[in-house]
Amino acid sequence: MKKILVSGGAGFIGSHLCTRLIKDGHEVICLDNLFTGSEENIAHLKGNPRFQFVLHDVELPYEAEVDEIYNLACPASPVHYQHDAIKTIKTSVLGAINMLGLAKKTGAKIMQASTSEIYGDPVIHPQVESYWGNVNPIGIRSCYDEGKRCAETLFMDYYRQNGIRIKIIRIFNTYGPRMLPDDGRVVSNFVVQALQDKDITIYGSGVQTRSFQYVDDLIEGMVRMMNTEEGFIGPVNLGNPNEFSILELAEKVIRLTGSKSKLIFKPLPHDDPRQRKPDITLAKHKLDWQPVIELEEGLLHMIEYFGKYRS
Protein backbone atom coordinates (compact mmCIF):
# COMPACT_ATOMS: atom_id res chain seq x y z
CA MET A 1 0.00 0.00 0.00
CA LYS A 2 1.32 3.41 -1.00
CA LYS A 3 0.34 6.89 0.17
CA ILE A 4 -0.57 8.83 -2.96
CA LEU A 5 -1.42 12.49 -3.43
CA VAL A 6 -3.67 13.47 -6.34
CA SER A 7 -3.85 17.21 -7.01
CA GLY A 8 -7.02 18.10 -8.90
CA GLY A 9 -8.46 14.86 -7.50
CA ALA A 10 -12.04 16.17 -7.32
CA GLY A 11 -12.14 16.94 -11.04
CA PHE A 12 -13.30 14.80 -13.94
CA ILE A 13 -10.12 12.74 -14.51
CA GLY A 14 -8.82 13.14 -10.95
CA SER A 15 -11.92 11.59 -9.40
CA HIS A 16 -11.61 8.52 -11.66
CA LEU A 17 -7.94 8.25 -10.73
CA CYS A 18 -8.69 8.50 -6.97
CA THR A 19 -11.33 5.79 -7.38
CA ARG A 20 -8.85 3.50 -9.14
CA LEU A 21 -6.08 4.08 -6.58
CA ILE A 22 -8.43 3.37 -3.67
CA LYS A 23 -9.63 0.22 -5.46
CA ASP A 24 -5.98 -0.85 -5.80
CA GLY A 25 -5.64 -0.64 -2.01
CA HIS A 26 -3.71 2.61 -1.63
CA GLU A 27 -4.15 5.57 0.69
CA VAL A 28 -5.16 8.70 -1.23
CA ILE A 29 -4.97 12.39 -0.38
CA CYS A 30 -7.11 14.36 -2.83
CA LEU A 31 -6.04 18.01 -3.02
CA ASP A 32 -8.42 20.37 -4.81
CA ASN A 33 -9.67 23.96 -4.64
CA LEU A 34 -13.01 22.89 -6.22
CA PHE A 35 -12.77 25.45 -9.04
CA THR A 36 -14.04 23.00 -11.66
CA GLY A 37 -14.14 19.91 -9.45
CA SER A 38 -16.80 19.03 -6.92
CA GLU A 39 -17.28 17.08 -3.70
CA GLU A 40 -20.02 15.19 -5.54
CA ASN A 41 -17.36 13.66 -7.82
CA ILE A 42 -15.67 12.07 -4.81
CA ALA A 43 -18.76 11.53 -2.60
CA HIS A 44 -18.50 7.75 -3.10
CA LEU A 45 -14.98 7.79 -1.59
CA LYS A 46 -15.66 10.01 1.41
CA GLY A 47 -16.51 7.22 3.89
CA ASN A 48 -13.36 5.27 3.07
CA PRO A 49 -10.72 5.53 5.84
CA ARG A 50 -7.96 5.40 3.18
CA PHE A 51 -9.34 8.50 1.41
CA GLN A 52 -8.84 12.08 2.53
CA PHE A 53 -10.08 15.23 0.82
CA VAL A 54 -8.15 18.45 1.47
CA LEU A 55 -9.48 21.78 0.21
CA HIS A 56 -6.26 23.40 -0.99
CA ASP A 57 -4.99 25.63 -3.77
CA VAL A 58 -1.79 24.28 -5.38
CA GLU A 59 -0.53 27.84 -5.80
CA LEU A 60 0.40 27.41 -2.13
CA PRO A 61 2.83 24.82 -0.77
CA TYR A 62 1.43 21.67 0.82
CA GLU A 63 3.17 19.25 3.16
CA ALA A 64 2.51 15.56 3.74
CA GLU A 65 4.48 12.32 3.78
CA VAL A 66 3.67 10.68 0.45
CA ASP A 67 5.18 8.03 -1.84
CA GLU A 68 3.68 9.23 -5.12
CA ILE A 69 2.13 12.42 -6.51
CA TYR A 70 -0.12 12.79 -9.56
CA ASN A 71 -0.25 16.50 -10.48
CA LEU A 72 -3.56 17.14 -12.24
CA ALA A 73 -4.70 20.44 -10.73
CA CYS A 74 -5.59 22.80 -13.58
CA PRO A 75 -8.83 23.64 -15.36
CA ALA A 76 -8.84 21.85 -18.72
CA SER A 77 -11.82 23.17 -20.68
CA PRO A 78 -11.03 26.28 -22.78
CA VAL A 79 -14.08 28.03 -21.28
CA HIS A 80 -12.82 27.42 -17.74
CA TYR A 81 -9.12 28.04 -18.28
CA GLN A 82 -9.80 31.30 -20.13
CA HIS A 83 -12.18 32.50 -17.40
CA ASP A 84 -9.21 33.67 -15.28
CA ALA A 85 -6.18 33.26 -17.53
CA ILE A 86 -3.68 34.57 -14.97
CA LYS A 87 -4.94 32.13 -12.36
CA THR A 88 -4.61 29.29 -14.92
CA ILE A 89 -0.95 29.93 -15.65
CA LYS A 90 -0.22 30.40 -11.93
CA THR A 91 -1.91 27.08 -11.22
CA SER A 92 0.25 25.29 -13.78
CA VAL A 93 3.55 26.94 -12.91
CA LEU A 94 3.29 27.50 -9.14
CA GLY A 95 1.39 24.21 -8.80
CA ALA A 96 4.25 22.36 -10.51
CA ILE A 97 6.84 24.13 -8.32
CA ASN A 98 4.94 23.32 -5.12
CA MET A 99 4.30 19.69 -6.03
CA LEU A 100 7.90 19.22 -7.19
CA GLY A 101 9.04 20.83 -3.93
CA LEU A 102 6.98 18.26 -2.03
CA ALA A 103 8.51 15.45 -4.13
CA LYS A 104 11.98 16.79 -3.33
CA LYS A 105 11.26 16.88 0.40
CA THR A 106 9.65 13.45 0.62
CA GLY A 107 11.49 11.58 -2.14
CA ALA A 108 8.12 10.85 -3.77
CA LYS A 109 7.78 9.89 -7.42
CA ILE A 110 5.77 12.53 -9.28
CA MET A 111 3.75 12.52 -12.50
CA GLN A 112 2.76 15.59 -14.49
CA ALA A 113 -0.56 15.52 -16.36
CA SER A 114 0.59 17.41 -19.43
CA THR A 115 -1.42 17.78 -22.58
CA SER A 116 -1.55 17.44 -26.36
CA GLU A 117 -2.01 21.25 -26.26
CA ILE A 118 1.74 21.58 -25.86
CA TYR A 119 1.87 20.68 -29.59
CA GLY A 120 -0.34 23.73 -30.32
CA ASP A 121 -1.70 23.79 -33.87
CA PRO A 122 0.54 20.91 -35.00
CA VAL A 123 2.20 20.75 -38.40
CA ILE A 124 3.48 17.21 -37.73
CA HIS A 125 0.65 14.69 -37.91
CA PRO A 126 0.13 12.43 -36.02
CA GLN A 127 1.98 14.03 -33.12
CA VAL A 128 5.07 12.20 -31.85
CA GLU A 129 6.65 13.03 -28.50
CA SER A 130 9.79 14.35 -30.20
CA TYR A 131 7.78 17.13 -31.92
CA TRP A 132 8.35 20.53 -30.22
CA GLY A 133 5.01 21.96 -31.25
CA ASN A 134 3.57 25.06 -32.84
CA VAL A 135 2.21 27.18 -30.00
CA ASN A 136 1.15 30.83 -30.06
CA PRO A 137 2.77 32.30 -26.92
CA ILE A 138 0.49 35.37 -26.79
CA GLY A 139 -2.94 34.03 -27.71
CA ILE A 140 -6.04 33.23 -25.68
CA ARG A 141 -5.03 29.56 -25.27
CA SER A 142 -1.47 30.43 -24.16
CA CYS A 143 -2.28 30.60 -20.44
CA TYR A 144 -3.00 26.88 -20.64
CA ASP A 145 -0.56 25.74 -23.36
CA GLU A 146 2.43 27.74 -22.14
CA GLY A 147 1.61 27.01 -18.48
CA LYS A 148 1.71 23.30 -19.27
CA ARG A 149 4.90 23.70 -21.35
CA CYS A 150 6.56 25.54 -18.47
CA ALA A 151 5.44 22.80 -16.07
CA GLU A 152 7.13 20.20 -18.30
CA THR A 153 10.29 22.34 -18.25
CA LEU A 154 10.17 22.52 -14.45
CA PHE A 155 9.74 18.75 -14.20
CA MET A 156 12.77 18.21 -16.45
CA ASP A 157 14.88 20.72 -14.51
CA TYR A 158 14.01 19.23 -11.12
CA TYR A 159 14.92 15.84 -12.62
CA ARG A 160 18.25 17.02 -14.02
CA GLN A 161 19.18 19.31 -11.14
CA ASN A 162 17.75 17.53 -8.10
CA GLY A 163 17.36 13.94 -9.24
CA ILE A 164 13.60 14.00 -8.59
CA ARG A 165 11.85 10.86 -9.86
CA ILE A 166 9.49 12.20 -12.53
CA LYS A 167 7.06 10.92 -15.16
CA ILE A 168 5.41 13.11 -17.81
CA ILE A 169 2.29 12.12 -19.74
CA ARG A 170 0.68 14.12 -22.55
CA ILE A 171 -3.05 13.51 -22.44
CA PHE A 172 -5.13 13.87 -25.62
CA ASN A 173 -8.84 14.83 -25.58
CA THR A 174 -10.48 12.66 -22.92
CA TYR A 175 -14.17 12.35 -22.12
CA GLY A 176 -16.40 10.35 -19.83
CA PRO A 177 -18.78 10.46 -16.87
CA ARG A 178 -18.30 13.29 -14.33
CA MET A 179 -17.61 15.90 -16.98
CA LEU A 180 -19.77 18.90 -16.13
CA PRO A 181 -22.87 19.34 -18.31
CA ASP A 182 -21.75 22.95 -18.89
CA ASP A 183 -18.07 21.98 -19.13
CA GLY A 184 -17.80 23.60 -22.56
CA ARG A 185 -15.81 20.78 -24.15
CA VAL A 186 -17.15 19.26 -27.30
CA VAL A 187 -18.26 15.77 -26.25
CA SER A 188 -20.24 16.90 -23.19
CA ASN A 189 -21.68 19.87 -25.10
CA PHE A 190 -22.91 17.72 -28.00
CA VAL A 191 -24.32 14.92 -25.82
CA VAL A 192 -26.28 17.34 -23.60
CA GLN A 193 -27.48 19.39 -26.60
CA ALA A 194 -28.60 16.22 -28.43
CA LEU A 195 -30.43 14.83 -25.39
CA GLN A 196 -32.36 18.11 -25.14
CA ASP A 197 -33.02 18.31 -28.91
CA LYS A 198 -31.20 21.66 -28.86
CA ASP A 199 -29.03 22.96 -31.69
CA ILE A 200 -25.62 21.29 -31.90
CA THR A 201 -23.02 24.08 -31.84
CA ILE A 202 -20.32 23.46 -34.44
CA TYR A 203 -17.47 25.95 -34.11
CA GLY A 204 -16.09 26.86 -37.53
CA SER A 205 -16.94 24.49 -40.37
CA GLY A 206 -16.46 21.37 -38.23
CA VAL A 207 -13.68 19.94 -40.41
CA GLN A 208 -11.13 20.31 -37.60
CA THR A 209 -10.24 16.94 -36.07
CA ARG A 210 -9.72 15.50 -32.61
CA SER A 211 -8.99 11.99 -31.32
CA PHE A 212 -11.21 11.13 -28.37
CA GLN A 213 -10.12 8.88 -25.54
CA TYR A 214 -12.46 7.33 -22.99
CA VAL A 215 -11.45 8.09 -19.40
CA ASP A 216 -11.03 4.43 -18.30
CA ASP A 217 -8.37 3.90 -20.97
CA LEU A 218 -6.50 6.99 -19.77
CA ILE A 219 -6.56 5.92 -16.11
CA GLU A 220 -5.07 2.53 -17.04
CA GLY A 221 -2.31 4.29 -18.98
CA MET A 222 -1.58 6.70 -16.11
CA VAL A 223 -1.19 3.94 -13.55
CA ARG A 224 1.00 1.90 -15.91
CA MET A 225 3.18 4.94 -16.57
CA MET A 226 3.64 5.63 -12.85
CA ASN A 227 4.83 2.03 -12.45
CA THR A 228 7.35 2.00 -15.31
CA GLU A 229 11.01 1.39 -14.54
CA GLU A 230 13.06 4.11 -12.87
CA GLY A 231 14.69 6.23 -15.52
CA PHE A 232 11.80 6.09 -18.00
CA ILE A 233 10.37 9.56 -17.59
CA GLY A 234 8.55 10.18 -20.90
CA PRO A 235 7.00 12.38 -22.07
CA VAL A 236 4.59 9.81 -23.37
CA ASN A 237 1.39 10.43 -25.33
CA LEU A 238 -1.79 8.90 -23.89
CA GLY A 239 -4.68 9.12 -26.32
CA ASN A 240 -6.85 7.21 -28.73
CA PRO A 241 -5.36 7.44 -32.24
CA ASN A 242 -8.73 7.20 -34.00
CA GLU A 243 -9.32 10.66 -35.44
CA PHE A 244 -12.71 12.23 -36.23
CA SER A 245 -13.83 15.57 -37.57
CA ILE A 246 -16.15 17.56 -35.30
CA LEU A 247 -18.90 17.07 -37.91
CA GLU A 248 -18.43 13.29 -37.71
CA LEU A 249 -18.66 13.48 -33.92
CA ALA A 250 -21.93 15.47 -34.16
CA GLU A 251 -23.39 12.94 -36.61
CA LYS A 252 -22.54 10.04 -34.26
CA VAL A 253 -24.01 11.78 -31.21
CA ILE A 254 -27.25 12.61 -33.06
CA ARG A 255 -27.58 9.04 -34.32
CA LEU A 256 -26.82 7.39 -30.97
CA THR A 257 -29.23 9.63 -29.04
CA GLY A 258 -31.96 9.54 -31.70
CA SER A 259 -32.03 13.33 -31.38
CA LYS A 260 -33.98 15.84 -33.48
CA SER A 261 -31.19 18.41 -33.03
CA LYS A 262 -29.98 20.45 -36.00
CA LEU A 263 -26.44 21.65 -36.58
CA ILE A 264 -25.69 25.36 -36.21
CA PHE A 265 -22.36 26.93 -37.07
CA LYS A 266 -20.63 29.40 -34.73
CA PRO A 267 -17.34 31.26 -35.14
CA LEU A 268 -14.20 29.18 -34.68
CA PRO A 269 -12.39 30.29 -31.49
CA HIS A 270 -8.95 31.87 -31.96
CA ASP A 271 -6.01 29.46 -32.28
CA ASP A 272 -8.30 26.40 -32.36
CA PRO A 273 -5.98 23.56 -33.50
CA ARG A 274 -6.93 22.20 -36.94
CA GLN A 275 -5.96 18.61 -36.28
CA ARG A 276 -4.90 16.37 -33.46
CA LYS A 277 -4.01 12.69 -33.33
CA PRO A 278 -1.52 10.96 -31.03
CA ASP A 279 1.23 8.68 -32.18
CA ILE A 280 1.11 6.08 -29.38
CA THR A 281 4.02 3.89 -30.48
CA LEU A 282 5.98 4.81 -27.33
CA ALA A 283 3.08 4.01 -24.96
CA LYS A 284 2.50 0.69 -26.71
CA HIS A 285 6.15 -0.23 -26.38
CA LYS A 286 6.90 1.09 -22.87
CA LEU A 287 3.56 0.59 -21.11
CA ASP A 288 2.17 -2.29 -23.19
CA TRP A 289 -0.90 -0.06 -23.40
CA GLN A 290 -3.40 1.02 -26.00
CA PRO A 291 -6.99 2.23 -25.74
CA VAL A 292 -9.68 -0.45 -25.89
CA ILE A 293 -12.87 1.65 -25.74
CA GLU A 294 -13.84 3.04 -29.11
CA LEU A 295 -15.80 6.25 -29.62
CA GLU A 296 -19.31 4.80 -30.10
CA GLU A 297 -19.05 2.64 -26.98
CA GLY A 298 -17.71 5.56 -24.94
CA LEU A 299 -20.43 7.87 -26.26
CA LEU A 300 -23.09 5.38 -25.14
CA HIS A 301 -21.65 5.58 -21.58
CA MET A 302 -21.77 9.40 -21.79
CA ILE A 303 -25.35 9.34 -23.05
CA GLU A 304 -26.36 7.09 -20.15
CA TYR A 305 -24.53 9.32 -17.64
CA PHE A 306 -26.19 12.50 -18.94
CA GLY A 307 -29.57 10.70 -19.26
CA LYS A 308 -31.10 12.90 -16.54
CA TYR A 309 -30.78 15.91 -18.87
CA ARG A 310 -32.96 14.29 -21.58
CA SER A 311 -35.93 16.52 -22.32
Would you please indicate which residues are annotated as catalytic (active-site) residues? 144
Site string for ligand UDP, 172-191 (x = CB under 6 A): -x-----------xx--x--
Residue 74 lies near ligand UDP (rule: CB under 6 A): no
Q: Which helix H or strand E contains 291, and what residues bound it?
A: none
Residue 36 lies near ligand NAD (rule: CB under 6 A): yes
Q: Exposed, middle or buried by CB within 10 Å (0-12, 13-18, 19+), for 245?
A: middle
Q: Which one among 76, 219, 250, 302 touches ligand NAD, defined by CB under 6 A?
A: 76
Site string for ligand NAD, 106-135 (x = CB under 6 A): -------x-x--------------------
Q: Count interface residues toward ligand NAD (CB under 6 A).
A: 29
Helix, coil or strand: residue 136: coil
| Residue 109 Cα distances to 35, 222, 226, 230, angstroms | 26, 13, 8, 10
Q: Exposed, middle or buried by CB within 10 Å (0-12, 13-18, 19+), for 96?
A: buried
Query: For every residue of 167-180, which 3-state class applies, written as one string?
Result: EEEEECCEECCCCC
Residue 174 lies near ligand NAD (rule: CB under 6 A): yes
Q: How far is the CB of 305 from ligand NAD (least distance, A)?
A: 14
Site string for ligand UDP, 240-259 (x = CB under 6 A): ------x-------------
Q: Which stretch binds ligand NAD (CB under 6 A): 71-79, 99-107, 120-128, 244-252?
A: 71-79
Q: Which one among 26, 59, 243, 271 touches ligand NAD, defined by CB under 6 A?
A: 59
| CA distance linking residue 284 with residue 236, whole number of Å | 10
- Number of neighbours of residue 128 by Cβ within 10 angstroms: 15
- Number of neighbours of residue 269 by Cβ within 10 angstroms: 14
Q: Which residues bind ligand UDP (CB under 6 A)?
A: 78, 173, 185-186, 189, 201-203, 208, 210, 246, 269, 272
